[in-house]
Amino acid sequence: MWAPTQDSVVLVFSLGALENVDKFYRLMKSKGVEFVNQPTDHPDCGIRSVHLRDPDGNLLEFMADLPLEKCGENLKKDFKKYT
């Protein structure tokens, strides 16, 4: 069963380059957009992301891939295993 605060859907948008996550955050903050969190690295997932909610309350994620050296060890092992 889902917790009342858990989202069943998240829309994810790739911002391409890693630095774009922080640029997007700063630009939108300057326009008054409220975010759920600040840009954060997620080494186990291999991404940097930031989240906000649209006017209907849907969770939106804006992300970019981390360079391999910043990824978690399991992700690095998988990368070497499959490349």
Structural contact between residues 42 and 65, judged by C-beta atoms closer than 8 angstroms: no
> What's 78's domain CATH number?
3.10.180.10
Residue 2 lies in a domain: no
Q: pLDDT (tens digit, 9 = 90+) per residue, 3-25?
A: 566 788 899 999 999 999 999 99
Query: 31-54, pLDDT tens digit by residue?
Result: 999 999 999 999 999 999 999 999
Q: Determine the structural domain holding residue 38 and report its residue range.
A: 10-82
Residue 5 in domain:
no
pTM, entire model = 0.86
Contact between 62 and 40 (Cβ < 8 Å): no
